Amino acid sequence: MPDSPVGTDAASVDKEMAKSRSRIPPPRHSDVYPSSLSKIAGVRLSGKELSTAWDVSIVEGRISSIDQHDPDAAVQLPSHDVLDGANRLLAPSLCHAHIHLDKCFLLQDPKYSDLQMENGDFQEAMDMTGKAKARFGEDDLLRRGRQLIEESIHHGVTAMRAFVEVDGHVQFKCLDAGLQLKEEFEHRCDIQICAFAQLPLFSGNDGGEEVRKLMSAAAQEEGVDVLGSTPYVEADEAKQKMNVCWISTLALSHAKHLDLHLDYFLEEHKQPLVWSVLDIVKDRNWLARQGKQITLGHCTRLTRFKDEEWSKLRQCIADLPVSFVGLPTSDLFMMRTPEGHRGTLPVVDMIHRYGLDAAIGINNVGNAFTPHGNCDPLSIASMGVGIYHAGAKKDAETLYEAVSSRAKAVIGHESTSLGLKVGELADFVLFDGTKSGWRSRKSIAEVVYDPATSRQTIRRGRMTAL
C-alpha cells in the first residue's frame, strides 16, 4: 500500500478503505454458483406419501414434471445439473413480505454502538432511529443491507419487499443504496423496493412539504416497485386521511403497489383508520385502474375486533386487492397498553375464519423497534404456533404459507404452492443436510415446529445458497 498522505492518520486511511470496500459489489451469481439445474432427484414433497421419493424436473426456471424417483435410473444420470435430494424435504422458498433494509443491525453495528436501549418503548425507538439516520452513509447502508440479504438468502428467501426511508434527513441515501442492492442481487433474490415515508406527509414544521416532494421524485424511479407511508404519525385524523389520499393517488399515477403501516396502537377507545382507507381506495377506483396490491402492515388495533367487525371488514374489502401483514416480533415488543394488553394480527384466523389475505413478516432485524430475532422467516412461523395456538398440521402448513406462498401473494409476487405444481416457479428450499438421519424433517409441520438450520436455497432452478 502506498504511503499515507501527509496529515492523514491511520484511522482515516482505514475508514476510507472500508468505505471503498463497501462499494465493491459481490461476485456475479454466475461466477460462484452452478448453472441451472435440470432436476432435483429423490426428495420428499408435502402432501405426498412419505415413503416415496420424488424427482422434480426443471425447464427454464419452472417445474416441468414431478415423477416418482427411480434409484436405479438415477445412477445413470449426469451429475453436473442434477441435485441429489438425498430423501430430504423440498418446499417452496421463503419470502419477506415486510422488512426494513436501511435500519437493520443498528444495535450490532460498531458505528452505532453508543445508541443502546434503556426504556424499550416506541418513542425511544423513534428517537434512536432518528439519531442513527443522521449518520447514515453509503458505506454502512450497503454493508448492513448486504448482510441482511445474504443471511436471508441462506435461510431460504428468494423474494422480499424491502422498505427504504425517504425524508429530509436522509434524502435519497437509503433509496439509492436499496436500488444498488436490488441490482446486485437480481440473480439471487427478487427485491421489491418500497420508497417509504416514515415521517408525516402533512404535519410538522413544514407541513410535510419536503417529504412529499422527495416521495414524488422517488415515485418516478423505475426501480421503485412500491410506495408506502405511515398515516398514524400524523397530528390528527384529518391529516391521516390526507396522508392516505395523497400516497394512494401517487401510487396509482405511477403504477406502483401501495403499502401502509396502519393502526399501530391497541387502545380500544381509538378508532381504526382501516375503514377510511378502504373508502379512499374505492373512491379512486383502484380495482379498475390497475392490478397493483394494497398491503396493510401492523394493524394491531384490529386485534380488538369482534366477529361482526371481522365479517364487516371482509365485506368492505370485497374484490379489492387488499391484504394484511402481521409483524409479531415488533408488534408484541412495541405495542402494549397500561393494562398490559398486547396484540398482533391473528393471521391464522384471518385466513381460515374470515377469508382474508394475510401473511406474517420480520419487519426489523437488530434495531430498537425489534432488538430480538433474525432474518429467518421460519422463526416467526414457529413463534406463530404459540401465538395463534396453531399446532395442528393444517395450521402449521398455513404458517409456512404465511412466510412463503401467501407472503409472496400479498406483495404481488408470483408464488410456488405448498404442493408444488407443474408450471410453477422452481423456487425452493431443501431442508436439512445429507447426514441428518432420522432427524431430517419429513413434513412442513416438522419444519414449522423446529426449523432446520441446514438449508439449500434454489431460485428459478439455480442454487443461490449452499
Could you give the maximum distance between any two Cα atoms of the chain, in Å? Answer: 74
Q: How many CB atoms lie within 10 A of CB 206?
A: 12
pLDDT at position 9 is: 47
pLDDT at position 28 is: 52
Residue 274 one-letter amino acid: V
Residue 352 one-letter amino acid: H
Determine how β-strand 54-59 pairs with β-strand 62-68. Answer: antiparallel
pLDDT at position 310 is: 97
d(CA 396, CA 382): 8
d(CA 165, CA 340): 31
Cell 436439512 sits on residue: 432
Q: Which domains does the chain have, with CATH numbers?
A: 31-93+417-465 (2.30.40.10), 96-410 (3.20.20.140)
d(CA 464, CA 426): 12
- Residues 223, 105, 358, 276, CA torsion sign: negative
Q: Which residues in the chain show pLDDT less than 70? A: 1-35, 74-78, 466
DSSP H or E run through 216 = helix 209-218
pLDDT at position 15 is: 53
pLDDT at position 354 is: 96
**For 208-219, how does the pLDDT look when each residue is reduced to its tens digit (9 = 90+)?**
999 999 999 999
pLDDT at position 8 is: 41
Task: Please tell me the pTM assigned to this model.
Answer: 0.90
- Grid coordinates representing 24? 465493491
d(CA 331, CA 312): 24
pLDDT at position 71 is: 82
d(CA 123, CA 368): 10
Written as one string, the DSSP assignment of 3-38 is PPPTT--HHHHHHHHHHHHHTSPPPPHHHHS----S
Question: What is the layout of strands, in order, in the sheet containing 157-165?
Answer: 94-100, 157-165, 190-197, 224-229, 257-262, 294-298, 322-326, 358-360
pLDDT at position 5 is: 40
pLDDT at position 43 is: 94
